[in-house]
Amino acid sequence: MNLHKREVARSQIDTAIDLFLDGKDYLSVITLAGAGEEILGSLIARAGKKRMIDHLIDLDKKLSKGGRQFKIINQEINGFRNSLKHADDPTEDIVDVVEDQEHAIAMLARALTNYHELEGKLSVKMEQFYTWLKQNRSELFDNEENST
């Protein structure tokens, strides 16, 4: 069986959503969603479109009046995810997982944004997560209602 990388990414993200909605293993949610987000980001870049990370870099440039070095931004954006999947840095052998649900939500949101950018739609599981997010984290959508 052959799968396109976008299907691999969708499967990873959908599985991450299942784990998240079941309240299980947020660390695996982060690594699965992060892997899917990264694959989709590469496909988006190859298509000449903007990835979620590009939007975050643009926002940093706007907020910091010129932008910071990519290395600094990347550490802020991907540092926690990378510390879960790599063991290169001995200072990261112990991982603080106090806010792992927040990291999981952020990574899933990034993955959904990339998926939508590439596919123009969301999977059924992604729609379920988005609905959960609106119902359980309505504060994230306050500006959406104020801007309409």
Stronger pLDDT, 105 or 83, i.e. the higher one: 105
Please compute the mean of the pLDDT values over residues 106-129 and round it to a whole number: 96
Rounded CA-CA distance 25/78 in Å is 19
Q: What is the mean pLDDT of the chain?
A: 87
In terms of C-beta density within 10 A (0-12 exposed, 13-18 middle, 19 or more buried), how is residue 47 classed? exposed
Please compute the mean of the pLDDT values over residues 105-123 and round it to a whole number: 95
Domain-wise residue ranges, the chain: 5-146
Stronger pLDDT, 131 or 56, i.e. the higher one: 131
Above 70 in pLDDT, residue 148? no
pLDDT of residue 99: 66
User: Is the distance from CB of 106 to CB of 30 less than 8 angstroms?
Assistant: no
What are the pLDDT digits (tens) for 41-66?
999 999 999 998 888 888 888 888 87
User: Is the distance from CB of 54 to CB of 117 less than 8 angstroms?
Assistant: no
pTM, whole model, 2 decimals? Answer: 0.83
pLDDT of residue 70: 79
| pLDDT confidence band for 67 (50 / 70 / 90) | confident
pLDDT of residue 120: 95
pLDDT of residue 142: 72
Residue % of the chain over a pLDDT of 70: 93
DSSP collapsed to 3 states, 112-131: HHHHHHHHCCCCHHHHHHHH
